Amino acid sequence: MNRETLVERLKRPEWSDAEFKQARAAVPKSAYEAASAFANTGGGTIVFGVQDRDGEIEVVGVDRVDKVQNEFLSTIRSGQKLSRELEVSAEMIEVDGKTVLAFFIPESPRARKPVYLDGNPRRTFVRRGGCNERCRTSELERFLRDAAADRFDSRVMTELKAHEFFHPPSLRWYRSLFYDRNQGKQQDITDVEFLHERGFVVDYGDRLAPTRAAVIVFGRSRYVLQVLPRPVIDCQLIDAASDQWSPDRRWTERFVVEDNLLQAWLVVSKYYSRHVGAPFSIDMQTMRRNDHPPGYVSFREAVINQLIHQDYGDRGRTAFVRLFRDRIVFWNPGDAPATTGRLLDPTAKEVRNPEIVAAFRRIGLSEQAGTGIRAIYRNWRRLGHVPPVIRNDKAEKAFELTLVEEELLDEEHLIFQAGLGVRLDEPQAALVAFARRVDRVTVTDAKAVTGMPGPEALAVLEGLVVQGLLTKHGTLGGFRLATHLRQPRGPEAGDGSGDGAESGAGVPGDGEGRESAALKVSATSSADMVTDHGDQVESDMGTDQVILRLNARQRAIVDACDVPRGLRELMERVGVTHRTHFRNKHLKPLLEGGVVRMTNPDSPRAPNQKYVLTEAGVALKAARASRR
């Protein structure tokens, strides 16, 4: 943390990854609680020499710098106050002649959590928002499970018999897929021998016994319930948009799976096939689709991710899938050890249930060797949607992935892009569209949007800065849409035969007279403002108005102008009789926005003047056609 970053953060104190303490002459006890919380969650910075007076943040400085710094660092690194030694980096920052100390506490590895105080595991803290909270008993148990050297799924179920725990149809289906992928393997062996060779049943004294993984993957339902006394997954169909639903409202349809993981997958996939927009079927023997539903790969990998990576030692929380009209939400107990950025990298990841992951990998059910996150993003990106949203909550130890069924390059953005006056390739266009939706674009965001590795995604972001479309986001890192391009995204224009109201807001220039990239309706005199049938109307358009959506007649013009069309022909096609009104209300915004162009731009009033789509207009028309 440097001086500029500190000053910026002081404007918005108590971030989830920063905490401020006065600490002028001594280290406050609460600083160690913050250290525990940061080490157990996502890491963060503790800043000494800053106080909060009734919400007013003030830099007061540390008076006894050496004493305070040495006391804190020696305590943190000694392993006496805290259960683990922490590798802390320290910085001394001068602000207005006062000394501030900043200590970065990294997140501890999973095997070294929980980090607690005074030798008491009940004094384990986690970070929630801007607060440090003591762990509840159930949360502490989750930390301890994840830190255990022996994985939960590897424990041997000594009370069960190897020849009777498994569900024969499930194992038969699994063996069929296994031999399809492993030609030449000996097939004339018993089910128990097959399980023994794969490590699903192990030697225990003079007999064989299954592991927990074997029971969870292959077991009969009554044995699964012995290992997991809660449902494997809860699927809910909700006939509403996500922002119109609350947990107290009832779902439309629901089923709960209390069976082994193979049966859970088969049931959930059949359920999905009934509710997607394009029905499809799956060959359950080969797992090949007989047709290709658009979102199948993303849905499959998300469900498999839930089944193989959730915390099965957590008996109080159940994984769920919620299918809304506008998105699908996948939630499961157990956080991912990696960050979102690392989940998008093609590298090996630490897994919670290695034996369960290996079982699914052997039959190729998951494309990405168990995680599938990159496959989820890749498929969703190919569909043209905004990137999936991941919430990896290390305090609650939960993982949520949301597939939002929203176009990234929607009509509004294509109109916006048409008016930029620059040519963008696919990654550039996608990142500009994403930047219009969020306050800040990080390199991880850019990887998700483009599918590129980090360095290449960063190069695209920096190239957009050179083009004047993005700016660096100050000291907080990341990138933002350039100031002169920022404008609210508006509601869709009506699709009726009338003009409707094009809603939106004007956007100020950047001080150099550069206009907003949105299409505009130019101001006209009252005499020009007539209806499409020639009747006089009163004008309320004193200034240019930004169009965020095409009206119905502008869409008709776009549909017609794939070949050059004359003015009269266009007026006839859209049903308008007043020439001036047609030019100002419908045609001029398309010309100024770069959607259509004149065939004879040097002579706008030429008798043979015609109008045709620009490259941006062709893209806009193609996007509309694909939606239909």
**Contact call for residues 578 and 530 (beta carbons, < 8 A):** yes
Q: Residue 463: which pLDDT band, with cuts at 50, 70 and 90?
A: very high
**Contact call for residues 370 and 314 (beta carbons, < 8 A):** no
Which of 482, 413, 422, 408 is CA-nearest to residue 451?
408
Query: Is residue 481 domain-shared with residue 554, that is, in the same domain?
Result: no
Q: Which residue has the tokens 């959590």?
A: 113
Q: Give the pLDDT confidence score for residue 286 in this predicted structure.
A: 52
Q: Residue 623: which pLDDT band, with cuts at 50, 70 and 90?
A: confident
Residue at which a domain ends, from 462, 485, 508? 485
Structure tokens at 132: 């440090």
Q: Give the pLDDT confidence score for residue 475 in this predicted structure.
A: 54
Q: Give the pLDDT confidence score for residue 552 in this predicted structure.
A: 85
Collect all residues with Cβ–Cβ distance below 8 Å to 467 and sequence separation of at least 6: 422
Residue 208 has pLDDT above 80, yes or no: yes
Residue 494 has pLDDT above 50, yes or no: no
What's the number of domains the chain is made of? 4
Say which range, 39-43, 283-287, 463-467, 542-546, has the weakest mean pLDDT: 542-546
For residue 61, give the CATH number of its domain. 3.30.950.30
Q: Residue 40: which pLDDT band, with cuts at 50, 70 and 90?
A: very high
Collect all residues with Cβ–Cβ distance below 8 Å to 400 and sequence separation of at least 6: 329, 330, 331, 332, 390, 391, 392, 393
DSSP 584: I
Average pLDDT of the segment spanning 299-326: 93
The greatest distance separating any two alpha carbons of the chain, rounded to the nearest whole angstrom, comes to 100
Please give the radius of gyration of the chain, using alpha carbons only, rounded to the nearest integer: 30
Query: Is residue 26 domain-shared with residue 122, that is, in the same domain?
Result: yes
Structure tokens at 153: 């799924």
Collect all residues with Cβ–Cβ distance below 8 Å to 330 and sequence separation of at least 6: 302, 303, 305, 306, 319, 320, 321, 400, 401, 402, 403
Q: Residue 95: which pLDDT band, with cuts at 50, 70 and 90?
A: confident
Query: Is residue 395 domain-shared with residue 444, that is, in the same domain?
Result: no
Q: Give the pLDDT confidence score for residue 474 in this predicted structure.
A: 64
Domain-embedded: residue 567: yes
Which of 424, 405, 404 is CA-nearest to residue 413?
424
Residue 39 has pLDDT above 80, yes or no: yes
Q: Give the pLDDT confidence score for residue 329 in this predicted structure.
A: 96
Which of 390, 482, 383, 475 is CA-nearest to residue 432?
482
Query: Is residue 13 domain-shared with residue 93, that is, in the same domain?
Result: yes
Query: Is residue 314 domain-shared with residue 394, that is, in the same domain?
Result: yes
Q: Give the pLDDT confidence score for residue 488 in this predicted structure.
A: 63
Per cent of the chain over pLDDT 90 is 50
Residue at which a domain ends, from 467, 485, 503? 485
Q: Quick: pLDDT tens for 559-583.
A: 888 889 999 999 988 888 888 888 8
Query: Is residue 566 domain-shared with residue 417, that is, in the same domain?
Result: no
Domain range enclosing 568: 519-627
Query: Is residue 311 domain-shared with residue 435, that is, in the same domain?
Result: no
Query: Is residue 242 domain-shared with residue 384, that is, in the same domain?
Result: yes
Which string of DSSP letters, residue by residue, matches 454-523?
HHHHHHHHHHHHHTTSEEE-GGG-SEEE-GGG--PPPPPPP-SSS------------SS-PPPSSEEEPP
End-to-end alpha carbon distance in the chain: 50
Domain-embedded: residue 510: no
User: In terms of pLDDT, which residue wins out, 96 or 403?
Assistant: 403
What letter represents residue 132's amino acid? N
Spatial separation of the C-alpha atoms in residues 365 and 376, rounded to whole Å = 14
Spatial separation of the C-alpha atoms in residues 515 and 484, rounded to whole Å = 7
Q: Residue 532: which pLDDT band, with cuts at 50, 70 and 90?
A: very low
Q: Quick: pLDDT tens for 413-461.
A: 888 888 787 888 999 999 999 999 998 999 999 999 999 999 999 999 9
Domain-embedded: residue 198: no
Residue 3 has pLDDT above 80, yes or no: no
Query: Is residue 9 domain-shared with residue 128, that is, in the same domain?
Result: yes
Q: Give the pLDDT confidence score for residue 14 in this predicted structure.
A: 53
Domain-embedded: residue 362: no
User: In terms of pLDDT, which residue wins out, 517 or 120?
Assistant: 120
Query: Is residue 89 domain-shared with residue 20, that is, in the same domain?
Result: yes
Which of 188, 370, 342, 164 is CA-nearest to residue 261?
370
Q: Give the pLDDT confidence score for residue 278 in this predicted structure.
A: 55
Domain-embedded: residue 545: yes
**Contact call for residues 114 and 147 (beta carbons, < 8 A):** yes
User: What residues are paired with 201 via a beta bridge?
Assistant: 210
Domain-embedded: residue 262: no
User: How many CB atoms are located within 10 Å of the residue 603 CB?
Assistant: 10
Domain-embedded: residue 155: no
Average pLDDT of the segment spanning 112-140: 92
Residue 531 has pLDDT above 60, yes or no: no
For residue 331, give the CATH number of its domain. 3.30.565.60
User: How many CB atoms are located within 10 Å of the residue 523 CB?
Assistant: 14
How do beta strands 207-210 and 233-237 pair? unpaired
User: In terms of pLDDT, which residue wins out, 370 or 468?
Assistant: 468
Q: Residue 220: which pLDDT band, with cuts at 50, 70 and 90?
A: very high
Residue at which a domain ends, from 113, 134, 155? 134
Domain-embedded: residue 431: yes
Q: pTM, whole model, 2 decimals?
A: 0.78
Query: Is residue 342 domain-shared with residue 447, that is, in the same domain?
Result: no
What letter represents residue 347's amino acid? T
Collect all residues with Cβ–Cβ distance below 8 Å to 507 and sequence separation of at least 6: 484, 485, 486, 487, 516, 518, 546
Query: Is residue 380 domain-shared with residue 331, that is, in the same domain?
Result: yes
Q: Give the pLDDT confidence score for residue 626 in this predicted structure.
A: 65
Spatial separation of the C-alpha atoms in residues 209 and 196, rounded to whole Å = 9
Q: Quick: pLDDT tens for 335-357.
A: 998 888 888 888 878 889 999 99
Q: Residue 54: which pLDDT band, with cuts at 50, 70 and 90?
A: low
